[in-house]
Each structure stands twice: as C-alpha cells, then as structure tokens.
A and B are shown apart, each in its own frame.
Chain A
C-alpha cells in the first residue's frame, strides 16, 4: 500500500545556484501545524533557485538548464563553502522523514542521496513544480511529445505499447495468410497449365491421370492416395526403353540449364571492392578505435562539465593545451574513417547478395546435371560448375563478417576472377545449343516423345497438386489461428481503450473545471479537451469549443494567455489526478502569464480546488501578493529583500500592505506610507466597484483616481442598500473625512507633505470600513448579485450578507 506524504515541515538549501550560506531555510511550521507559504521577491532575488533545487532532488537534473546546455557543474554556487551543495526536505510522515540530495564534485551527475527518495518520487508521477517559463511549453510541444508526457504521467504507456504490438501481430498473421494465398495461386497456376480445373476437384484429376496412364498401357489408379505414385509409374515405363530414358534426361537437363542462366558477372564489382578494402585496412590502428566514437562524444561532454582539466578523461594521461580541440580532431578523423567503413559495408552487403544468388542457382543445377550418360557430353561444364561453386562459397565465407573482422590479407578478387567462372559465364550459348541438339535427336520418334511429354505433364500435375494441398492445409490452420487471435486482440484493445479513456475522462473533468474557472469571463470558450490518438502515430492534441465550433488544435484560435490557462489547467489536473498522495505544489511566478483580470480567478482556483494541498508560491507581483494574503491569511509569508552574491537571498518575514504602512509610519516615513496606502486603496476600490457593478465616470486614459472610484462605490452602495444602512453610514463618514479628501487630492504629489499621524488616522478608519465589506470565512469582498428576483450584496459563500434584515432594525 502506498503511503502519503503528510506535510513538508522544512526545506533547507545550501550552496545551490543562487543560494549559498547560511543555508536558506523555509520553515512551513506555524502554530503547531504546517502551512502553505508565499514568498515575495523581485526578479533576481533568488526565488527560482528553490524550484531548481526541488527539481534536482525530484528528477536528478534540471530540464530547463539541460536544454540550454548548462550541465551539472552549473548547479553549484561558485563560492559554495567546502564544496557543500545540498537540499534537504523534512516531512511530517516518518516513512519519508528527512530526504537529502548532496552534490558530489567527483560524480556530478549522481548526487549523494540520504533518506527514502525512491518512496518520495514514487508518490510524484506528475512533476509538482511549475515555472512561468514551463507553463506554455506543454501547450506548444508537438502532439507526439505531448503523448509521451501524458502516457508516462498517467501510466498507460505500457498497455498502449502492448496493444500496438498485438496489432502488429495481427498484421503479420494477415500478411502471412496473404503470402500463403499467393503461393497457393502459383501452384494452382502451374496445375492449370496442364489441367484447366480447380485442384480441389480430385475426381477430375484422377480421371485425367487415368486417361494419360491408359494411353501408355500403365495401370490406372482408384484411390486419391495413389495420385502421388503416378510419376514413379511413368518413370518405370520410361526406364524400360533406352532412347526414351535419354530423351527424358536431356529434356530435364535443358530445363535445368535454362533456370541456371543468366548468371551475373560480379568480377568487376569484387575487384573494385577489393581495392577500397585494402586501402581502408591500411589504417588498422585507427579502425580499432571507431568503436570509441561514442566515448569521444561523451568525453567532450565530460570535459565541458569539468571545472578544471589537465588530464584526458579518456586515457587518463596529463595533457597540456586545449584538450577539447585535441579530442575533436581525433573524433573528426574517426568520423571520416567511419563513413568509409559504412560505404564498404554497404558494398559488402550487395556483393554477398549477388554471390548467394549465383551459389543457390548452381546448387540447384549441380545434382540434376550429374546424370550418368549425358555427363560425358557435359563433363567440362560440370567440372567448371563444381569448381566455381566451391570458389564462390569460399569467397562468400570470407565476406560474411563485418569489415573489422575480415583479415587485411583477405583476397576475394582472385577467388572469383578464375578461368572456370569466366568460362561458365561465356559458355551459355554453346551449352544451350549442344543440349538442344540432343533433345531434337531423341524427339524424332513420335511415340517416345509423347511418353516423355506425358511423363512431364503427370509430374507437373502431381507435384503442383501436392504443393497446393499442403499450402491449402496451412491456410486453413492459419485462418483459424488468425480468427481466434483477432477476437483476443479486439477484446484486449476494447478494455485498454476503456481504461485509458476512463483515466482521461477523470483528468478531463478536472481540466474543464479548472479552465472554466480561469476563463470564466471568456464566454466564447468552452469544453477544453485533451484528445488522445492511440493508433500507430500516438499523439495528444488540445481541443476547445470556440464560438460553438470545435477547434483542433486549440492554438489555432486561442490567445497566449488562454493557452496558458489551458497549460495551467492540465498541470493542476495532472497533479490532482496523478499525485493523490503527494499534496504539495510549487508555483514559480506563474501569474505573469495571465491578464490582470484573470489573476483573482487563479486564487479562486487554488482556494476552491487545492485547499487540501500545501503550496509554495513564489511571486514578484505585489498586488497579487496582497490578494493572496487576503484570501489565505493563514499562509506563511516571506520576503526576499535582495540577493547577495556571497549569501544568496536575504529573507525576512513577509508583510502585507497594512503591515508595511505601519512600518513606514513607525519610522515616520509619511510619504512612503501614503503612497503605499494610495496604491492599496485604489486596488481595493477597483475590486469593490467591479463587484458592485458600480458606474465609474469614463475617461479615455482609462485611469481612475481615488475620488472617482470612491464616489462611484459610495453612490452604488447607497442605491442598493439605502441611506439608513449602518455600513453605508460608515462609508459616507469616511468619504466626508477631511483627512481622506485631502489625501485623495494630494497623495500622488510628494511636494505636498502630510504627517504620519494623518496617514495612520485615515488607514485606521478605512480598515474599519473594509472589515465590514469582507467575509471573515471566505476572505472575499461582498458583491452584487440578482437571483430569483432578489438583489443581494453578499460574499460568494453568503456567510456575510449586507442585505440581511438585521441591518435595518
């Protein structure tokens, strides 16, 4: 049974990328429990080093660095104390406990691991970290690459591979069936050259055979089992008469010689190959190193990742000068040699094929030509044939090894360039003519000619019938096997597809929910889907309904921000679906991929669907951070003030806007406090105006000052809740406050000073108003909503309802 991760108590990192010493400690413990964490820091303050360290621990490498050709030597901080580079994660669950990866300068690609890392990685089939830069990578990957990512993440890769191999098996069975049917057709054709009937018609065959047997006074047959004996019966008849026997033999010899020729003259080809081979073998010392080509490649990679090198990593010898250049020049010579070797290998393959073809022809002809009497007339021809056969076999034996294994003294040309081979090639017309004369001589007697002709007819009929029958049996067996196989194949594929689709549907349901949450304002988009192709070209494509039409691939019509919504939804859906026992997510500056109006929806997504997850959120966006703090007040807040080369991120406890204003006030920095509050209040009033659907005076710059926003908010509030509503009275009182009115007019003008106590006074009054507008449970502001004919001003969870009658008592 799988364990679950529990929670993370601490992540500590030292000497890694932008983090040096003292170790950066992210402590997730708060009030005797563990919490999520948000870290604010400007770009370059060291936030991303945390994600890199996590990825190194989880996957053993950092993909985005690898893509940019930065290898493991780029992981260590340049000033890492005592070469110490490590990350340690401490879990609440004892089964995982502390897990640590430490950089090993001697084996840079293999960190030293302490703790149960394999148990942790088993719980994280889908990577749980996401960077801004990674977000749209998946969306823009090729459809085949998307498939690879999802197949391995969802664990259906093996089942689909086996499904496709079983399909290949079915294709091979059908191909085999087709080949056998073609073979059967050839035998049928041979059969029908003599008898124009189906070979299946055994009665007709017996009738024909008996007619022929009868013609020559040979005993007829009565059973199908006797069919195969008919040629032998004829042979006995022929053997009785010397001239007939000779005619039969010469006709056989004629057939054999006609099948032997033409013979391919391969002497020139072999002579050319011999020259290239001898030249190539002269460089024997280098040839033996061709197998080291891969090692040279790896050697160059290894040297790249070494901080210092004065010893060759391949031969371990000291080397002065540029080692990479030295190895590259050796590699280049071997590359050239390897190309020559490959050309020779191709030529060797072609010659082997030709040789085998000639040897096979001679092998068939040789025994047939070694008949007793005609041998005298074919004596020299047979001698040549025998000698050439053995010469070519020797040559083939020598060539039937790879180039490296063939002796440099090997001589193929002499074996082929013989008088016997030359004579065999040149004697075709002479030998054919001589045989034709013999056949003509014995054909003079019509009755003998008829007997031999009928013998050939019977032989052809019986032989082709026998072959046809055997193949027919094979076909019948193969058809049964194929039918049974295809039934199994169909059922296996159905089950596999159903399982995959089921996994996919679960993922797709989450995907749809998450996408619709982020894109709730884009009504033209709906029903995002991941479409799966599990046929031979396995692929995954993203699809979406756009204005009622299904668009595939989705990137045809979606904006970059919408595609990023797709990417984030897939990432989160995969985590939800695939990491059920590892509820931890790292999100690094992902908010930058989205339009401003969508950013609150991402907070909704985390709040509504990932409240059971521990999240480490990194951002350089202050406004978003404020919203996050409002919604997740229990989260731990950290602030990376700056980055120091020797130390890394300088961290302090993160403060929200009010806390920062308070700090400015306590240091009597009234201008800074005022500006901070002004930015904050504008942001809050924009959200309130949007929530209440307030009409704000239009301006072409699309910029609104505090007065305009506050006025719109106040008017709308009064209209919907009335003058007597106690919260309205409070809002109105704040609006009429002289200090606030002055602040509205001058807060952007640093030349007109105000005091820290004036700012503090306004802030405290606004805090009171704000607390009346925000729900203590869901931490969201009230909004205007009309449903069932009633108007409501309440928070989304309805716990805080300003239209409640209690306000009017």
Chain B
C-alpha cells in the first residue's frame, strides 16, 4: 500500500493540481491522519484575505 504522504508529494510535483491547495493538503498529512482543522483554518484565512480590496 502506497504511503499517503508520498502520493501527495508526487501530486505536487506532477503539476496537475492547483498548487496552493495541494501544497496545503500535503502539509496537513501526517503518518496516519489528515489534519482537517488545520486545513479549514487555512481556508478561512484565504477567504478573509484582502476582502475589502476592489
């Protein structure tokens, strides 16, 4: 069975996916879990960033 962290590493290199998302997802993968809380806080930051700029 392929190591999940390895799959994400290869997915970043493949260039197939939106870079900031795959990099963040990859950083949330540890040996046996995907840290959803960490990922969702990052999403919230992305939504708020420079919101008032036109």
Contacts and interface: CB of A to CB of B under 8 A. Distances in A.
Interface of A: 154-159, 161-162, 165-166, 168-169, 172-173, 176, 225, 470, 473-474, 477-478, 480-481, 484-485, 487-488, 491-492, 495-496, 499-500, 503
Contacts of B18: 480, 484
Contact of A478 (B32, B39, B43, B51): B43
Residue from A155, A159, A500 with most neighbouring chain B CB atoms (10 Å): A159
Nearest to B18: A484
B1 A155 contact: yes
Interface string B1-28: 1101001100100001110011001000
A479 to B, nearest CB: 11
25 contacts: A158-B31, A158-B32, A159-B1, A161-B33, A162-B29, A162-B33, A165-B33, A166-B25, A166-B34, A169-B40, A172-B36, A172-B40, A173-B43, A470-B51, A477-B46, A478-B43, A481-B21, A484-B17, A487-B17, A491-B16, A492-B4, A492-B8, A492-B11, A496-B4, A500-B1
Given A165-B33, A488-B17, A488-B21, A495 B7 contact: yes
A162 B2 contact: no
Given A478-B47, A485-B25, A159 B2 contact: yes
Nearest to B11: A488
A339 B4 CA distance: 43
Contacts of A154: 1
Contacts of A157: 32
A162 B1 contact: no
A480 B40 CA distance: 14
Contacts of A158: 4, 31-32
Given A162-B4, A166-B34, A478-B47, A491 B11 contact: yes
Given A155-B1, A172-B36, A225-B54, A485 B46 contact: no
| Residues of A contacting B: mostly | helix
A162 B26 CA distance: 12
A169 B1 contact: no
The 10 closest A-B pairs by CB, nearest first: A484-B18, A165-B34, A484-B21, A158-B32, A474-B47, A162-B4, A156-B1, A169-B36, A162-B34, A155-B1
Given A158-B31, A168-B36, A491-B11, A176 B1 contact: no
Interface of B: 1-2, 4, 7-8, 11, 16-18, 21-22, 25, 29, 31-34, 36, 39-40, 43, 46-48, 51-52, 54
Nearest to A166: B34
B11 A159 contact: no
A225 B54 CA distance: 9
Contacts of B47: 474, 477-478
A511 to B, nearest CB: 19
A157 B33 CA distance: 11
A176 B43 contact: yes
A159 B29 CA distance: 11
Contacts of B48: 474
Contacts of A172: 36, 40
Nearest to A224: B54
A173 B17 CA distance: 17
A159 B22 CA distance: 17
A147 B36 CA distance: 24
A496 B3 CA distance: 10
Contacts of B51: 470, 473-474
A484 B25 CA distance: 11
Contacts of B25: 166, 485, 488
A503 B2 CA distance: 11
Nearest to A498: B2
Contact of A495 (B2, B17, B31, B46): B2
Contacts of A488: 11, 17, 21-22, 25
A225 B53 CA distance: 11
Contacts of A176: 40, 43
Nearest to A476: B47
Contact of A481 (B16, B29, B46): B46
A427 B32 CA distance: 59
Given A162-B34, A491-B11, 15 more contacts: A158-B31, A158-B32, A159-B4, A161-B32, A168-B36, A172-B40, A173-B43, A176-B40, A470-B51, A481-B43, A488-B17, A488-B21, A492-B7, A492-B8, A496-B4
